[in-house]
Amino acid sequence: MVWLLILIPLGFGLAAALVSSNRWRPWLVTAGGLAHLVWTGWSLFGGLKPALAGWLALDPPGRIVLGLVSVLFAVCSLYAPGYLAERRERSNRVFCACLLGMLSMMTLVILSQHLGLLWVAVEATTLAAAPLLYFNHTPRSLEATWKYLLIGSVGIALALLGTFFMAYAGLGAGEEPTLLFGDLAVLAPRLSTPWLHAAFVLLLVGYGTKMGLAPMHTWKPDAYGEAPGIAGALLSGGVTSCAFLAILRLYRICRNTSEAAFASHALILMGLLSMAVAAVFVIRQRDFKRMLAYSSVEHMGVLALGTGLGGLALAGALLHVITNGITKGVMFLAAGNIHRSYGSKWTEDVQGAIRRLPWSGSLFLAGFLMVTGSPPGGPFRSLFGILQGALQGGHTAIAISFLVLLAVVFIGMGTTVLRVVQGAPALSPDPAGSREKACLVVPILLLAGLSLWLGIYLPAPVEQWLQGAADFLEVVPS
Amino acid sequence: MQTWVDAVLVLVLLLNFMALSAGRLRTLIRAVTVQGVLLGLLLALARGKWELTVLVMAGATVILKGMVIPRMLFHAVREVVIHRETEPVFGLMASMLLGASGTVMALLFSGTLPVVHGNIGSLVAPAALSTVLAGFLILMTRREAIAQVVGYLILENGVFVFGLLLMEAIPFLIELGVLLDLFVAIFVMGIIIHKISREYSSVSTRMLSELKE
């Protein structure tokens, strides 16, 4: 039942909107997240029948993103009750309902095999995310939300124009007009090339904005800087991965046409540009949450680059969706704990986190090491795969710039992260604030363990799904 | 019908210029109101036949884009805005010139795109693209939050115009465009409810620049 994957979180979201107890409501998020995880596991191992005349189905790349989103959300949902208990002063009705609504809409993005339906779902994730960013109700969070909505809405409008272009490109191609990804990929050689070209550019810009690729990344530092850690984790690991999935499906359509080379080059260029922008801005970043935003820009660039290179690099990029998403969860949640304890996210005020918050501080450090590609973390394996793909494809210059940019980001992030975790903590006015609760640490430990596990040993089913997705994207359908 | 469609499209283009040259918020909102009504008219004209579904869609467009949204915008101007100018980043003349070059570029670019289907007119694609560009220009170069929302509305109208080409083949796609209006509604409600002016002393997004890199 494809429908249940979308309806389970939606139902829990509605329930969360109706429950009046501020104390018990967050547990609905946990229940919804775990129910979604169970049903996702069932679908991944048991398979799903398409519904709605093929509009809703689970394709091979969708499996990967669905698995990631469901696991990430489930862990975040374990973190949510503990986090919201610390924020008793504020009603969490909208926050909980929007968290679950966002999960439901992310699932709809993943399952949509129709370009129009996918667009509706992406718009819905944008709208559901806005109240999460505004949770703190400060002037700065209002500004961040405004920017996020304004830039996001332009991206969404351009993606709709791209969808129209794609539809128009296909009008003469088949018997019936169609916007199903599978049909479009088969019809691709007969699509009108100039329209397909324009559609690709518009859709790449539109969904690239949602993904946060440079130069359309400008909403990210503000949004991630002001969002609660849990919202940052879900945006950087979930929503951006869903937007990447849209680009992957677009890429598959182009693979089969004369646009293939252009599509690859555009993705490589945007990928390197995103990494370069991140490298420039991450250096001397005094705000450790904004630093995470630039790290996210960097890794979205890595995904685009890997996809553009194709072959082994594409397989690496698909694995990187999972490893980056999970490791970003570690970093955002740990950063949230540190932020809350110190009441500041500036490195001037935040020092000695590892002494004041031994668990969160260490996890923040571990997350940094893993996300920048240190072995044996999960991202090491996927980044290495992309590098291997670049070298095997004979793109030596790209491989070298990739390594240099990774190194620059490592150094830039390292300076900020070490300043946060090392040193002696400033005199704490509130020693109670430095006690760590298990419910706020164990979920992060789970994610960190998962990332490490994927780095050391890739389970056979995951490997199969990755291989299946890479084949699905690379092999030209006919 | 063809000539009527083209005539209305020319009006839509002229309204882009009226919006680009508007110094006062009210003028800007009026321009986008008339454009909204024209879009409804276009929908009815482009179909060529008077069918009930088309008339309903056209009527809904006129009500939404020509009445509901403008009313919300005027309300926002009355309630919140202290400065009633659009606060352009550079002169209005310059944005007119940029808009004009955008229109020329749109014409040249759509010349390279073949007509694949239907015969609604060769003006639809260039009109759509130049309206998108004009909207984008207003969005980028006005500091006033409401002016930015109107810019977004014009951008959206451009996307809507392009939908005319698909109306016969995939009619429901046009209806998706309505979902973009959700953003407009949320922006305006955000301005009114959160009283951005109270927090920043003006809705000008210049004040919303505490978070700068």
Determine how many CB atoms are found less than 10 A away from the CB of residue B160: 28
ipTM confidence score: 0.91
User: Quick one: what percent of chain A has pLDDT higher than 70?
Assistant: 97
Interchain contact, A194 vs B113, CB within 8 Å: yes
Q: State the DSSP code for B164.
A: G
A314-373 confidence digits (pLDDT tens): 999 999 999 999 999 999 999 999 999 988 999 988 998 998 899 999 999 999 999 999
- Residue A59, sorted as left (phi over 0), alpha (psi -120 to 50) or beta, turns out to be beta
* Interface test mutation site (partner B, options A105, A133, A143, max chain B beta carbons within 10 A): A143
The beta-carbon neighbor of A161 closest among B159, B182, B208 is: B159
Q: What does the pLDDT read at residue B136?
A: 94
Q: What does the pLDDT read at residue B21?
A: 92
Give CA–CA dist A371/A452, Å, rounded: 11
Give CA–CA dist B181/B190, Å, rounded: 14
Q: What does the pLDDT read at residue B209?
A: 53
Residues of A in contact with B205 (CB under 8 A): 146
Q: In whole numbers, what is the pLDDT of chain B averaged over residues?
A: 84
A5-48 confidence digits (pLDDT tens): 999 999 999 999 999 998 999 999 999 999 999 999 999 998 78
A196-232 confidence digits (pLDDT tens): 999 999 999 999 999 999 999 999 999 999 999 999 9
Interchain contact, B211 vs A222, CB within 8 Å: yes
The beta-carbon neighbor of A167 closest among B128, B136, B166 is: B166
Q: Between the CA of residue B112 and those of A171, A188, B105, B109, what are the distances in Å?
A: 18, 20, 11, 5
Residues of A in contact with B162 (CB under 8 A): 161, 164-165
Residues whose CB falls within 8 Å of the CB of residue B72, separated by 6 or more in sequence, listed in order: B185, B188, B189
Q: What does the pLDDT read at residue A429?
A: 54
The beta-carbon neighbor of B176 closest among A160, A169, A221 is: A160
Residue A58 pLDDT greater than 70, yes or no: yes
Residue B193 pLDDT greater than 90, yes or no: no
Residues of A in contact with B139 (CB under 8 A): 150, 154
Question: Letter for the amino acid at A258?
Answer: S
Question: Letter for the amino acid at A27?
Answer: W
Give CA–CA dist B153/B61, Å, rounded: 13
Residue B22: helix, strand or coil by DSSP? coil
A453-472 confidence digits (pLDDT tens): 999 999 999 999 999 999 99
- Its pTM stands at 0.94
What's the number of domains chain A is made of? 1
User: Which of B210, B76, B207, B41 is CA-nearest to residue B150?
Assistant: B76
Residues of A in contact with B161 (CB under 8 A): none
How distant is the Cα of A168 from the closest Cα of chain B, in angstroms? Answer: 7
Residues of A in contact with B186 (CB under 8 A): 127, 130, 149
pLDDT range class, residue B183, cuts 50, 70, 90: confident
The pair phi, psi for residue B24, each rounded to 5°, is -110, 145
Q: What does the pLDDT read at residue B195?
A: 61
Determine how many CB atoms are found less than 10 A away from the CB of residue B201: 10
Residue A143 pLDDT greater than 70, yes or no: yes
Residues of B in contact with A171 (CB under 8 A): 116-118, 166, 169
Q: What does the pLDDT read at residue B154?
A: 96
B43-76 confidence digits (pLDDT tens): 888 877 778 888 888 999 999 999 999 999 998 8
pLDDT range class, residue B81, cuts 50, 70, 90: low
Range of the domain at A194: 2-474
- Residue B118, sorted as left (phi over 0), alpha (psi -120 to 50) or beta, turns out to be left
In chain B, what are the domain boundaries?
2-200
Partners of A287 in the β-ladder = A346
- Which of residues A418 and B168 earns the better pLDDT score? A418
Q: What is the mean pLDDT of residues B149-163?
A: 94
Interchain contact, B116 vs A168, CB within 8 Å: yes
User: Which of A405, A420, A412 is CA-nearest to residue A288?
Assistant: A420
Q: Between the CA of residue B101 and those of A133, B93, B107, what are the distances in Å?
A: 38, 12, 10
User: If you measure CA to CA, which chain B residue comes closest to A115?
Assistant: B173
User: If you measure CA to CA, which chain B residue comes closest to A167?
Assistant: B166
pLDDT range class, residue A276, cuts 50, 70, 90: very high
Q: What does the pLDDT read at residue A73?
A: 98
Give CA–CA dist A261/A96, Å, rounded: 44
Residue B186 pLDDT greater than 90, yes or no: no
pLDDT range class, residue A111, cuts 50, 70, 90: very high
A291, containing H or E segment: helix A288-309
A226, containing H or E segment: helix A219-226
Residues of B in contact with A150 (CB under 8 A): 139, 148, 152, 187
Interchain contact, B183 vs A142, CB within 8 Å: no
How distant is the Cα of A152 from the closest Cα of chain B, in angstroms? Answer: 10
A247-251, A305-309, B161-165: segment of lowest average pLDDT: B161-165
